A and B are shown apart, each in its own frame.
Chain A
Amino acid sequence: MRKAVEIINLVKKFGNFVAVDNLSLDIYEGEIFGLLGPNGSGKTTTLLTIATVYKPTSGDVRVFGYSVVRDGDMVRKLVGMAFQEPKALGIDKPYDLLMWHARMVGYSAGDAKKVVREVMDSLGLWEHRDKYFYQLSGGTRKKVEIAKVLIQRPRVAIFDEPTAQVDVISKHVLWDAIKELRKEGSTIIISTNDMFEAERVCERIAIIYRGRLRAVGTVQELKDSMPYGDVIELSVAGKDIDVSKVLEILNSFGRVSVNGSTFMVYVNRGEEKAIEIVDALRRRGITISRIMVKEPTLDDVFFYITGAKLKEE
Protein backbone atom coordinates (compact mmCIF):
# COMPACT_ATOMS: atom_id res chain seq x y z
CA MET A 1 0.00 0.00 0.00
CA ARG A 2 1.15 3.52 -0.76
CA LYS A 3 2.08 5.75 2.14
CA ALA A 4 -0.07 8.87 2.29
CA VAL A 5 1.65 10.32 5.34
CA GLU A 6 5.04 9.35 6.66
CA ILE A 7 6.06 10.78 10.03
CA ILE A 8 9.81 10.40 10.49
CA ASN A 9 11.43 10.91 13.90
CA LEU A 10 9.26 13.96 14.49
CA VAL A 11 10.17 16.14 17.46
CA LYS A 12 8.29 19.31 18.34
CA LYS A 13 9.35 21.37 21.32
CA PHE A 14 7.82 24.53 22.76
CA GLY A 15 10.65 25.98 24.82
CA ASN A 16 11.73 23.14 27.09
CA PHE A 17 8.44 21.29 26.76
CA VAL A 18 8.55 18.33 24.40
CA ALA A 19 5.09 18.04 22.83
CA VAL A 20 6.03 15.33 20.32
CA ASP A 21 8.96 13.09 21.11
CA ASN A 22 10.64 11.25 18.25
CA LEU A 23 7.40 10.06 16.65
CA SER A 24 7.56 7.79 13.61
CA LEU A 25 4.41 6.57 11.93
CA ASP A 26 3.08 5.59 8.52
CA ILE A 27 -0.48 6.26 7.37
CA TYR A 28 -1.59 4.55 4.19
CA GLU A 29 -3.59 5.91 1.30
CA GLY A 30 -7.34 5.43 1.65
CA GLU A 31 -7.46 4.38 5.29
CA ILE A 32 -9.20 6.01 8.24
CA PHE A 33 -6.48 6.37 10.80
CA GLY A 34 -7.00 7.38 14.42
CA LEU A 35 -4.64 9.11 16.81
CA LEU A 36 -5.82 8.13 20.25
CA GLY A 37 -4.61 9.76 23.41
CA PRO A 38 -5.67 11.95 26.31
CA ASN A 39 -5.59 15.75 26.20
CA GLY A 40 -2.03 17.04 26.01
CA SER A 41 -0.61 13.84 24.55
CA GLY A 42 0.68 15.50 21.37
CA LYS A 43 -2.11 14.56 18.94
CA THR A 44 -3.00 18.08 17.89
CA THR A 45 0.64 19.12 17.62
CA THR A 46 1.27 16.18 15.31
CA LEU A 47 -1.75 17.05 13.16
CA LEU A 48 -0.81 20.73 12.97
CA THR A 49 2.66 19.73 11.84
CA ILE A 50 1.21 17.57 9.07
CA ALA A 51 -0.90 20.57 8.01
CA THR A 52 2.28 22.79 8.02
CA VAL A 53 0.84 25.07 10.70
CA TYR A 54 3.71 24.05 13.01
CA LYS A 55 7.31 23.63 11.91
CA PRO A 56 9.06 20.49 13.19
CA THR A 57 11.87 21.08 15.70
CA SER A 58 13.56 18.08 14.10
CA GLY A 59 12.52 15.16 11.94
CA ASP A 60 10.08 15.45 9.06
CA VAL A 61 6.61 14.60 7.82
CA ARG A 62 6.06 13.60 4.21
CA VAL A 63 2.69 13.75 2.54
CA PHE A 64 2.68 11.65 -0.62
CA GLY A 65 6.45 12.14 -0.63
CA TYR A 66 6.40 15.92 -0.15
CA SER A 67 8.21 17.22 2.92
CA VAL A 68 6.49 19.67 5.25
CA VAL A 69 9.89 21.28 5.78
CA ARG A 70 10.88 21.78 2.14
CA ASP A 71 7.66 21.49 0.10
CA GLY A 72 5.09 23.25 2.28
CA ASP A 73 3.15 24.62 -0.70
CA MET A 74 2.71 21.15 -2.21
CA VAL A 75 1.72 19.65 1.15
CA ARG A 76 -0.94 22.31 1.69
CA LYS A 77 -2.44 21.47 -1.71
CA LEU A 78 -2.88 17.87 -0.52
CA VAL A 79 -4.02 18.40 3.07
CA GLY A 80 -7.17 19.91 4.56
CA MET A 81 -7.73 20.30 8.26
CA ALA A 82 -10.76 20.71 10.53
CA PHE A 83 -9.44 22.19 13.74
CA GLN A 84 -10.40 21.13 17.24
CA GLU A 85 -11.67 24.64 17.99
CA PRO A 86 -13.74 26.01 15.08
CA LYS A 87 -11.84 28.82 13.40
CA ALA A 88 -14.16 31.76 12.84
CA LEU A 89 -14.84 35.17 14.28
CA GLY A 90 -18.07 35.94 16.12
CA ILE A 91 -19.32 38.18 13.33
CA ASP A 92 -18.77 35.56 10.63
CA LYS A 93 -21.77 33.86 9.06
CA PRO A 94 -21.49 30.17 8.12
CA TYR A 95 -22.46 30.62 4.47
CA ASP A 96 -20.07 33.52 3.85
CA LEU A 97 -17.27 31.73 5.65
CA LEU A 98 -17.75 28.50 3.69
CA MET A 99 -18.10 30.35 0.39
CA TRP A 100 -14.82 32.15 1.06
CA HIS A 101 -13.20 28.85 1.98
CA ALA A 102 -14.53 27.15 -1.15
CA ARG A 103 -13.17 29.93 -3.37
CA MET A 104 -9.84 29.81 -1.55
CA VAL A 105 -9.43 26.07 -2.11
CA GLY A 106 -10.03 26.49 -5.84
CA TYR A 107 -13.73 26.36 -6.70
CA SER A 108 -15.15 28.79 -9.23
CA ALA A 109 -17.89 31.05 -7.87
CA GLY A 110 -20.64 28.91 -9.45
CA ASP A 111 -19.21 25.58 -8.28
CA ALA A 112 -18.58 27.01 -4.82
CA LYS A 113 -22.26 27.90 -4.44
CA LYS A 114 -23.24 24.37 -5.44
CA VAL A 115 -20.83 22.48 -3.23
CA VAL A 116 -21.39 24.75 -0.22
CA ARG A 117 -25.15 24.21 -0.51
CA GLU A 118 -24.68 20.43 -0.82
CA VAL A 119 -22.41 20.15 2.21
CA MET A 120 -24.48 22.53 4.35
CA ASP A 121 -27.59 20.53 3.51
CA SER A 122 -25.92 17.23 4.32
CA LEU A 123 -24.84 18.47 7.76
CA GLY A 124 -28.10 20.28 8.54
CA LEU A 125 -26.40 23.67 8.45
CA TRP A 126 -28.46 25.41 5.78
CA GLU A 127 -30.98 26.85 8.24
CA HIS A 128 -28.08 28.44 10.16
CA ARG A 129 -26.43 29.93 7.07
CA ASP A 130 -27.10 33.59 7.90
CA LYS A 131 -26.70 33.49 11.66
CA TYR A 132 -23.69 35.05 13.27
CA PHE A 133 -21.13 32.57 14.53
CA TYR A 134 -21.56 33.77 18.11
CA GLN A 135 -25.26 32.77 17.88
CA LEU A 136 -24.46 29.14 17.02
CA SER A 137 -24.24 26.25 19.48
CA GLY A 138 -20.90 24.52 20.03
CA GLY A 139 -22.02 21.53 17.98
CA THR A 140 -23.14 23.66 15.04
CA ARG A 141 -19.86 25.57 15.07
CA LYS A 142 -18.05 22.25 14.98
CA LYS A 143 -20.11 21.19 11.95
CA VAL A 144 -19.14 24.39 10.13
CA GLU A 145 -15.49 23.60 10.82
CA ILE A 146 -15.90 20.07 9.47
CA ALA A 147 -17.84 21.38 6.46
CA LYS A 148 -14.67 23.20 5.36
CA VAL A 149 -12.85 19.90 4.82
CA LEU A 150 -15.88 18.22 3.25
CA ILE A 151 -16.01 21.10 0.75
CA GLN A 152 -12.27 20.97 0.12
CA ARG A 153 -12.17 17.18 -0.44
CA PRO A 154 -8.40 17.00 0.05
CA ARG A 155 -6.23 13.94 -0.60
CA VAL A 156 -5.48 13.87 3.14
CA ALA A 157 -8.30 15.06 5.39
CA ILE A 158 -7.48 15.77 9.03
CA PHE A 159 -10.16 15.99 11.71
CA ASP A 160 -9.03 17.04 15.17
CA GLU A 161 -11.56 15.67 17.67
CA PRO A 162 -14.39 15.99 15.14
CA THR A 163 -17.27 15.08 17.44
CA ALA A 164 -16.24 16.79 20.67
CA GLN A 165 -19.19 18.96 21.86
CA VAL A 166 -21.47 17.30 19.30
CA ASP A 167 -24.74 15.56 20.22
CA VAL A 168 -25.22 11.83 19.58
CA ILE A 169 -27.35 12.19 16.43
CA SER A 170 -24.96 14.70 14.90
CA LYS A 171 -22.03 12.43 15.73
CA HIS A 172 -23.49 9.77 13.45
CA VAL A 173 -24.08 12.36 10.70
CA LEU A 174 -20.45 13.47 10.93
CA TRP A 175 -19.07 9.93 11.04
CA ASP A 176 -21.08 9.07 7.93
CA ALA A 177 -19.84 12.20 6.18
CA ILE A 178 -16.23 11.36 7.04
CA LYS A 179 -16.67 7.80 5.75
CA GLU A 180 -18.25 9.15 2.57
CA LEU A 181 -15.22 11.42 2.09
CA ARG A 182 -12.98 8.37 2.34
CA LYS A 183 -15.10 6.62 -0.29
CA GLU A 184 -14.44 9.55 -2.58
CA GLY A 185 -10.71 8.87 -2.24
CA SER A 186 -9.44 10.87 0.73
CA THR A 187 -7.15 9.44 3.36
CA ILE A 188 -8.60 10.33 6.74
CA ILE A 189 -6.74 11.12 9.95
CA ILE A 190 -8.80 11.59 13.09
CA SER A 191 -7.57 12.50 16.52
CA THR A 192 -9.78 11.55 19.39
CA ASN A 193 -9.88 10.71 23.06
CA ASP A 194 -13.23 9.01 22.56
CA MET A 195 -12.63 5.26 22.42
CA PHE A 196 -16.09 4.58 21.03
CA GLU A 197 -15.39 6.91 18.13
CA ALA A 198 -12.00 5.29 17.59
CA GLU A 199 -13.48 1.78 17.55
CA ARG A 200 -16.44 2.74 15.38
CA VAL A 201 -14.73 4.87 12.77
CA CYS A 202 -11.01 4.09 12.61
CA GLU A 203 -9.48 1.15 10.81
CA ARG A 204 -6.07 1.57 12.41
CA ILE A 205 -5.17 3.40 15.57
CA ALA A 206 -2.00 4.83 17.03
CA ILE A 207 -1.90 5.30 20.79
CA ILE A 208 0.04 8.42 21.70
CA TYR A 209 0.91 9.32 25.24
CA ARG A 210 3.14 12.15 26.45
CA GLY A 211 4.27 12.83 22.91
CA ARG A 212 5.43 9.30 22.19
CA LEU A 213 3.97 6.50 20.11
CA ARG A 214 3.02 3.65 22.41
CA ALA A 215 1.27 1.26 20.02
CA VAL A 216 -0.20 1.07 16.54
CA GLY A 217 -2.52 -1.40 14.84
CA THR A 218 -6.15 -2.27 14.22
CA VAL A 219 -8.47 -2.27 17.23
CA GLN A 220 -8.40 -6.05 17.30
CA GLU A 221 -4.62 -6.17 17.00
CA LEU A 222 -4.28 -3.78 19.91
CA LYS A 223 -6.66 -5.84 22.05
CA ASP A 224 -4.86 -9.03 21.11
CA SER A 225 -1.54 -7.46 22.01
CA MET A 226 -2.48 -7.41 25.69
CA PRO A 227 -0.75 -10.35 27.39
CA TYR A 228 -3.46 -10.27 30.04
CA GLY A 229 -6.27 -10.27 27.55
CA ASP A 230 -9.23 -10.56 29.94
CA VAL A 231 -10.55 -8.03 32.38
CA ILE A 232 -12.24 -9.00 35.64
CA GLU A 233 -14.36 -6.16 36.87
CA LEU A 234 -15.58 -6.44 40.43
CA SER A 235 -17.22 -4.30 43.07
CA VAL A 236 -16.77 -4.78 46.79
CA ALA A 237 -19.77 -4.60 49.14
CA GLY A 238 -19.86 -2.34 52.17
CA LYS A 239 -19.45 1.34 52.92
CA ASP A 240 -15.96 1.52 54.42
CA ILE A 241 -13.87 -0.46 51.99
CA ASP A 242 -10.23 -0.98 52.82
CA VAL A 243 -8.92 -0.32 49.32
CA SER A 244 -5.31 -1.08 50.20
CA LYS A 245 -6.30 -4.48 51.59
CA VAL A 246 -8.27 -5.31 48.42
CA LEU A 247 -5.40 -4.11 46.22
CA GLU A 248 -2.91 -6.20 48.14
CA ILE A 249 -4.94 -9.31 47.28
CA LEU A 250 -5.75 -8.39 43.70
CA ASN A 251 -2.19 -7.34 42.81
CA SER A 252 -1.11 -10.94 43.24
CA PHE A 253 -3.36 -11.87 40.28
CA GLY A 254 -2.40 -9.16 37.78
CA ARG A 255 -2.33 -5.47 37.00
CA VAL A 256 -5.16 -3.55 38.77
CA SER A 257 -6.93 -0.25 38.25
CA VAL A 258 -9.42 1.27 40.69
CA ASN A 259 -12.40 3.52 40.16
CA GLY A 260 -14.24 4.13 43.45
CA SER A 261 -15.36 0.75 44.72
CA THR A 262 -14.87 -0.90 41.32
CA PHE A 263 -11.66 -2.78 40.62
CA MET A 264 -10.38 -3.99 37.24
CA VAL A 265 -7.93 -6.86 37.17
CA TYR A 266 -6.11 -7.63 33.90
CA VAL A 267 -5.46 -11.37 33.68
CA ASN A 268 -5.18 -14.43 31.42
CA ARG A 269 -7.82 -17.18 31.65
CA GLY A 270 -10.33 -14.79 33.19
CA GLU A 271 -13.00 -17.33 34.21
CA GLU A 272 -10.56 -19.44 36.27
CA LYS A 273 -8.93 -16.41 37.85
CA ALA A 274 -12.33 -14.96 38.80
CA ILE A 275 -13.08 -18.00 41.00
CA GLU A 276 -9.66 -17.76 42.64
CA ILE A 277 -10.15 -14.04 43.30
CA VAL A 278 -13.57 -14.63 44.90
CA ASP A 279 -12.03 -17.28 47.19
CA ALA A 280 -9.08 -15.10 48.12
CA LEU A 281 -11.24 -12.12 49.00
CA ARG A 282 -13.71 -14.23 51.00
CA ARG A 283 -10.88 -15.74 53.06
CA ARG A 284 -9.91 -12.16 54.09
CA GLY A 285 -13.53 -11.32 54.94
CA ILE A 286 -14.23 -9.18 51.92
CA THR A 287 -17.62 -9.58 50.24
CA ILE A 288 -18.00 -9.09 46.51
CA SER A 289 -21.24 -7.42 45.37
CA ARG A 290 -20.67 -7.83 41.63
CA ILE A 291 -18.15 -9.56 39.40
CA MET A 292 -17.87 -10.02 35.64
CA VAL A 293 -15.29 -11.15 33.13
CA LYS A 294 -15.11 -9.18 29.90
CA GLU A 295 -13.07 -8.61 26.77
CA PRO A 296 -10.77 -5.60 27.07
CA THR A 297 -12.03 -2.31 25.68
CA LEU A 298 -9.78 0.14 23.92
CA ASP A 299 -9.71 2.03 27.20
CA ASP A 300 -8.37 -1.08 28.88
CA VAL A 301 -5.74 -1.42 26.17
CA PHE A 302 -4.82 2.21 26.65
CA PHE A 303 -4.50 1.72 30.39
CA TYR A 304 -2.43 -1.38 29.94
CA ILE A 305 -0.04 0.31 27.52
CA THR A 306 0.32 3.68 29.24
CA GLY A 307 -0.70 3.10 32.84
CA ALA A 308 -3.14 5.99 32.50
CA LYS A 309 -6.86 6.34 31.86
CA LEU A 310 -7.85 7.75 28.48
CA LYS A 311 -10.30 10.21 29.99
CA GLU A 312 -10.10 11.61 33.46
CA GLU A 313 -12.91 10.21 35.53
Chain B
Amino acid sequence: MNSLATALRQIFLLVQWDLTKILRRVIFVVMRATWFAVQVSVFGLALAYMVSARSLGLDTQAYYKFYLFGIYTSILFSITASRAYDIAEEFEEGIIEYHLSLPMNRKVLAIGRAVGGGIASTLFTLPMFATVVVLAQEFSIEAILISIIASLAFSIGIAGLVISITLSIKSGDATDILMGALDAILVRLSTVFYPAVVIKSIAPYYYSVIANPVSHLADLLRLFYSFEEFKALAIASPLALASYIVGLSIGFSFLAVYVVEKKLEGGGWR
Protein backbone atom coordinates (compact mmCIF):
# COMPACT_ATOMS: atom_id res chain seq x y z
CA MET B 1 0.00 0.00 0.00
CA ASN B 2 2.88 2.27 0.93
CA SER B 3 4.64 1.55 -2.36
CA LEU B 4 1.37 2.18 -4.22
CA ALA B 5 1.05 5.57 -2.52
CA THR B 6 4.66 6.36 -3.45
CA ALA B 7 4.04 5.29 -7.06
CA LEU B 8 0.94 7.46 -7.31
CA ARG B 9 2.76 10.43 -5.80
CA GLN B 10 5.61 9.99 -8.28
CA ILE B 11 3.18 9.70 -11.20
CA PHE B 12 1.59 12.94 -9.99
CA LEU B 13 5.04 14.59 -9.93
CA LEU B 14 5.80 13.36 -13.45
CA VAL B 15 2.47 14.76 -14.63
CA GLN B 16 3.44 18.03 -12.97
CA TRP B 17 6.79 17.87 -14.79
CA ASP B 18 5.06 17.49 -18.16
CA LEU B 19 2.55 20.24 -17.44
CA THR B 20 5.26 22.76 -16.62
CA LYS B 21 7.52 21.68 -19.46
CA ILE B 22 4.87 21.97 -22.17
CA LEU B 23 5.12 25.73 -21.59
CA ARG B 24 8.31 25.46 -23.62
CA ARG B 25 6.18 24.60 -26.62
CA VAL B 26 4.04 27.68 -26.24
CA ILE B 27 4.95 28.96 -29.72
CA PHE B 28 4.10 25.57 -31.20
CA VAL B 29 0.78 25.52 -29.37
CA VAL B 30 -0.04 29.11 -30.41
CA MET B 31 0.77 28.21 -34.03
CA ARG B 32 -1.48 25.17 -33.83
CA ALA B 33 -4.25 27.25 -32.21
CA THR B 34 -3.95 29.83 -35.00
CA TRP B 35 -4.01 27.11 -37.60
CA PHE B 36 -7.08 25.69 -35.85
CA ALA B 37 -8.83 29.07 -35.89
CA VAL B 38 -8.19 29.47 -39.63
CA GLN B 39 -9.32 25.89 -40.29
CA VAL B 40 -12.65 26.24 -38.51
CA SER B 41 -13.41 29.80 -39.59
CA VAL B 42 -12.31 29.73 -43.23
CA PHE B 43 -11.57 26.29 -44.61
CA GLY B 44 -14.21 24.47 -42.60
CA LEU B 45 -17.01 26.79 -43.73
CA ALA B 46 -15.79 26.87 -47.33
CA LEU B 47 -15.58 23.08 -47.43
CA ALA B 48 -19.02 22.76 -45.91
CA TYR B 49 -20.49 24.81 -48.74
CA MET B 50 -18.57 22.87 -51.36
CA VAL B 51 -19.36 19.40 -50.13
CA SER B 52 -22.51 17.96 -51.56
CA ALA B 53 -23.61 16.32 -48.38
CA ARG B 54 -27.16 15.61 -49.41
CA SER B 55 -26.13 12.41 -51.16
CA LEU B 56 -24.91 11.25 -47.76
CA GLY B 57 -28.12 12.26 -46.09
CA LEU B 58 -26.54 15.31 -44.42
CA ASP B 59 -27.10 18.99 -44.78
CA THR B 60 -24.32 21.59 -45.14
CA GLN B 61 -24.31 22.39 -41.41
CA ALA B 62 -23.89 18.70 -40.60
CA TYR B 63 -20.69 18.48 -42.64
CA TYR B 64 -19.37 21.51 -40.81
CA LYS B 65 -20.04 19.74 -37.51
CA PHE B 66 -18.41 16.61 -38.90
CA TYR B 67 -15.40 18.70 -39.87
CA LEU B 68 -15.14 20.45 -36.47
CA PHE B 69 -14.74 17.23 -34.46
CA GLY B 70 -12.32 15.93 -37.06
CA ILE B 71 -10.13 19.00 -36.93
CA TYR B 72 -10.12 18.96 -33.12
CA THR B 73 -8.93 15.35 -33.17
CA SER B 74 -6.14 16.18 -35.61
CA ILE B 75 -5.00 19.07 -33.38
CA LEU B 76 -5.01 16.86 -30.31
CA PHE B 77 -3.01 14.25 -32.18
CA SER B 78 -0.44 16.80 -33.43
CA ILE B 79 0.08 18.38 -30.03
CA THR B 80 0.43 14.99 -28.35
CA ALA B 81 2.83 13.82 -31.07
CA SER B 82 4.88 16.96 -30.42
CA ARG B 83 5.79 15.39 -27.06
CA ALA B 84 8.34 13.52 -29.14
CA TYR B 85 10.28 16.75 -29.64
CA ASP B 86 10.20 17.43 -25.90
CA ILE B 87 11.44 13.94 -25.13
CA ALA B 88 14.17 14.31 -27.76
CA GLU B 89 15.24 17.63 -26.25
CA GLU B 90 15.22 16.11 -22.77
CA PHE B 91 17.45 13.30 -23.96
CA GLU B 92 19.86 15.77 -25.52
CA GLU B 93 19.95 17.80 -22.31
CA GLY B 94 20.48 14.69 -20.18
CA ILE B 95 17.12 14.92 -18.41
CA ILE B 96 16.27 11.33 -19.32
CA GLU B 97 19.48 10.17 -17.61
CA TYR B 98 18.50 12.23 -14.57
CA HIS B 99 15.05 10.62 -14.49
CA LEU B 100 16.60 7.17 -14.86
CA SER B 101 18.76 7.81 -11.79
CA LEU B 102 15.85 8.82 -9.54
CA PRO B 103 14.56 6.46 -6.84
CA MET B 104 11.61 5.41 -8.94
CA ASN B 105 10.36 2.21 -10.51
CA ARG B 106 10.83 2.29 -14.29
CA LYS B 107 7.18 1.31 -14.84
CA VAL B 108 6.17 4.36 -12.83
CA LEU B 109 8.51 6.51 -14.92
CA ALA B 110 7.04 5.27 -18.20
CA ILE B 111 3.41 5.47 -17.11
CA GLY B 112 3.97 8.85 -15.46
CA ARG B 113 5.44 10.32 -18.64
CA ALA B 114 2.68 8.82 -20.83
CA VAL B 115 -0.09 10.06 -18.51
CA GLY B 116 1.69 13.40 -18.05
CA GLY B 117 2.06 13.86 -21.79
CA GLY B 118 -1.58 12.93 -22.31
CA ILE B 119 -2.93 15.27 -19.64
CA ALA B 120 -0.73 18.18 -20.72
CA SER B 121 -1.76 17.81 -24.37
CA THR B 122 -5.46 17.45 -23.54
CA LEU B 123 -5.40 20.50 -21.27
CA PHE B 124 -3.72 22.59 -23.95
CA THR B 125 -6.39 21.67 -26.48
CA LEU B 126 -9.30 22.36 -24.14
CA PRO B 127 -9.82 25.94 -25.42
CA MET B 128 -10.02 24.53 -28.94
CA PHE B 129 -12.40 21.85 -27.77
CA ALA B 130 -14.57 24.54 -26.18
CA THR B 131 -14.55 26.43 -29.50
CA VAL B 132 -15.71 23.29 -31.30
CA VAL B 133 -18.54 22.79 -28.81
CA VAL B 134 -19.69 26.38 -29.28
CA LEU B 135 -19.43 26.33 -33.09
CA ALA B 136 -21.21 22.97 -33.24
CA GLN B 137 -23.79 24.27 -30.75
CA GLU B 138 -23.62 21.00 -28.83
CA PHE B 139 -23.80 21.69 -25.11
CA SER B 140 -24.65 18.32 -23.62
CA ILE B 141 -22.68 18.07 -20.36
CA GLU B 142 -22.55 14.27 -20.54
CA ALA B 143 -21.23 14.38 -24.09
CA ILE B 144 -18.63 17.00 -23.15
CA LEU B 145 -17.38 14.97 -20.17
CA ILE B 146 -17.24 11.69 -22.06
CA SER B 147 -15.48 13.44 -24.96
CA ILE B 148 -12.80 14.84 -22.67
CA ILE B 149 -12.25 11.42 -21.09
CA ALA B 150 -12.00 9.78 -24.53
CA SER B 151 -9.64 12.51 -25.73
CA LEU B 152 -7.48 12.01 -22.63
CA ALA B 153 -7.33 8.23 -23.15
CA PHE B 154 -6.42 8.77 -26.82
CA SER B 155 -3.75 11.32 -25.88
CA ILE B 156 -2.20 9.03 -23.24
CA GLY B 157 -1.98 6.27 -25.83
CA ILE B 158 -0.36 8.53 -28.43
CA ALA B 159 2.04 9.91 -25.79
CA GLY B 160 3.00 6.30 -24.92
CA LEU B 161 3.61 5.63 -28.61
CA VAL B 162 5.81 8.69 -29.20
CA ILE B 163 7.79 8.04 -25.98
CA SER B 164 8.43 4.47 -27.16
CA ILE B 165 9.49 5.57 -30.64
CA THR B 166 11.68 8.49 -29.53
CA LEU B 167 13.46 6.57 -26.80
CA SER B 168 14.02 3.62 -29.14
CA ILE B 169 15.46 5.48 -32.11
CA LYS B 170 17.52 7.88 -29.90
CA SER B 171 18.04 10.42 -32.65
CA GLY B 172 16.87 14.02 -32.81
CA ASP B 173 16.93 14.14 -36.62
CA ALA B 174 15.17 10.79 -37.02
CA THR B 175 12.55 11.91 -34.47
CA ASP B 176 11.88 15.12 -36.45
CA ILE B 177 11.47 13.25 -39.73
CA LEU B 178 9.47 10.35 -38.34
CA MET B 179 7.07 12.45 -36.29
CA GLY B 180 6.56 14.93 -39.12
CA ALA B 181 5.73 12.06 -41.48
CA LEU B 182 3.53 10.28 -38.91
CA ASP B 183 1.59 13.47 -38.23
CA ALA B 184 1.05 14.21 -41.93
CA ILE B 185 0.13 10.64 -42.89
CA LEU B 186 -2.09 9.69 -39.98
CA VAL B 187 -4.18 12.86 -40.20
CA ARG B 188 -4.69 12.45 -43.95
CA LEU B 189 -5.33 8.70 -43.82
CA SER B 190 -8.19 9.20 -41.42
CA THR B 191 -11.81 10.32 -41.24
CA VAL B 192 -10.80 13.82 -40.08
CA PHE B 193 -11.93 15.40 -43.37
CA TYR B 194 -13.74 12.62 -45.22
CA PRO B 195 -16.44 10.26 -43.97
CA ALA B 196 -15.49 6.61 -44.24
CA VAL B 197 -18.40 5.87 -46.60
CA VAL B 198 -16.98 8.27 -49.18
CA ILE B 199 -13.58 6.61 -49.27
CA LYS B 200 -14.83 3.05 -49.00
CA SER B 201 -14.29 2.57 -52.72
CA ILE B 202 -10.53 3.26 -52.43
CA ALA B 203 -9.56 -0.02 -50.79
CA PRO B 204 -5.99 0.49 -49.49
CA TYR B 205 -6.81 3.96 -48.29
CA TYR B 206 -9.93 2.71 -46.57
CA TYR B 207 -8.06 -0.03 -44.68
CA SER B 208 -5.59 2.57 -43.41
CA VAL B 209 -8.47 4.77 -42.36
CA ILE B 210 -10.23 2.09 -40.33
CA ALA B 211 -6.99 1.05 -38.58
CA ASN B 212 -6.07 4.64 -37.78
CA PRO B 213 -6.50 5.82 -34.15
CA VAL B 214 -7.27 9.35 -35.37
CA SER B 215 -10.32 8.02 -37.27
CA HIS B 216 -11.53 6.22 -34.18
CA LEU B 217 -11.43 9.24 -31.89
CA ALA B 218 -12.88 11.60 -34.53
CA ASP B 219 -15.82 9.29 -35.18
CA LEU B 220 -16.33 8.56 -31.50
CA LEU B 221 -16.56 12.29 -30.67
CA ARG B 222 -19.04 12.81 -33.50
CA LEU B 223 -21.20 9.99 -32.18
CA PHE B 224 -21.16 11.37 -28.65
CA TYR B 225 -22.84 14.54 -29.89
CA SER B 226 -24.94 13.56 -32.88
CA PHE B 227 -25.38 9.82 -32.85
CA GLU B 228 -28.34 9.72 -35.20
CA GLU B 229 -26.72 12.03 -37.73
CA PHE B 230 -23.37 10.28 -37.90
CA LYS B 231 -24.00 6.62 -37.03
CA ALA B 232 -24.18 5.72 -40.72
CA LEU B 233 -20.86 7.42 -41.41
CA ALA B 234 -18.78 6.03 -38.53
CA ILE B 235 -16.20 3.32 -39.18
CA ALA B 236 -17.52 1.19 -36.29
CA SER B 237 -20.08 1.08 -33.49
CA PRO B 238 -19.58 3.41 -30.51
CA LEU B 239 -18.65 0.46 -28.29
CA ALA B 240 -16.05 -0.77 -30.76
CA LEU B 241 -14.62 2.73 -31.16
CA ALA B 242 -14.45 3.24 -27.40
CA SER B 243 -12.84 -0.18 -26.91
CA TYR B 244 -10.25 0.70 -29.54
CA ILE B 245 -9.38 3.96 -27.74
CA VAL B 246 -9.09 2.21 -24.35
CA GLY B 247 -6.96 -0.52 -25.94
CA LEU B 248 -4.79 2.10 -27.62
CA SER B 249 -4.24 3.87 -24.31
CA ILE B 250 -3.37 0.71 -22.38
CA GLY B 251 -1.42 -0.91 -25.22
CA PHE B 252 0.89 1.99 -25.99
CA SER B 253 1.38 2.77 -22.29
CA PHE B 254 2.59 -0.79 -21.83
CA LEU B 255 4.80 -0.43 -24.90
CA ALA B 256 6.36 2.62 -23.21
CA VAL B 257 6.81 0.57 -20.02
CA TYR B 258 8.53 -2.18 -22.02
CA VAL B 259 10.88 0.26 -23.77
CA VAL B 260 11.76 2.20 -20.61
CA GLU B 261 12.15 -0.89 -18.42
CA LYS B 262 13.88 -3.30 -20.78
CA LYS B 263 15.58 -1.29 -23.50
CA LEU B 264 16.31 2.20 -22.29
CA GLU B 265 19.62 3.36 -20.84
CA GLY B 266 21.48 6.63 -20.86
CA GLY B 267 23.81 7.79 -23.61
CA GLY B 268 23.83 6.86 -27.26
CA TRP B 269 21.80 9.89 -28.37
CA ARG B 270 22.57 10.81 -31.99
Contacts and interface: CB of A to CB of B under 8 A. Distances in A.
Given A83-B94, A89-B89, A103-B13, A52 B20 contact: no
Contact of B102 (A54, A85, A91, A104): A104
B100 interface: yes
A89 B93 contact: yes
A72 B90 CA distance: 22
Contacts of A106: 6, 103
Most buried by A among B17, B89, B94, B103: B103
Q: How large is the interface on A (under 10, 10 to 19, 20 to 34, 35 or more residues)?
A: 20 to 34
A289 B23 CA distance: 65
A55 B261 CA distance: 11
A52 B24 contact: no
Contact of A55 (B23, B94, B265): B265
B204 interface: no
Contact of B266 (A53, A79, A80, A88): A53
A53 B97 contact: yes
B16 to A, nearest CB: 7
A73 B105 contact: yes
A43 to B, nearest CB: 14
Contacts, number: 66
B101 to A, nearest CB: 5
Contact of B106 (A54, A72, A77, A88): A72
Interface in B1-43: 6, 9-10, 13, 16-17, 20-21, 23-24
B95 interface: yes
A48 interface: yes
B266 A96 contact: no
Contacts of A54: 265-267
Nearest to B9: A103
Name the 3 nearest CB pairs between A and B, nearest first. A87-B98, A53-B266, A51-B101
27 contacts: A51-B101, A52-B100, A53-B265, A53-B266, A73-B105, A73-B106, A76-B102, A77-B103, A79-B101, A80-B101, A80-B103, A83-B94, A83-B101, A87-B95, A87-B97, A88-B93, A88-B95, A89-B24, A89-B90, A89-B93, A89-B95, A91-B24, A96-B20, A103-B13, A104-B104, A105-B103, A106-B6
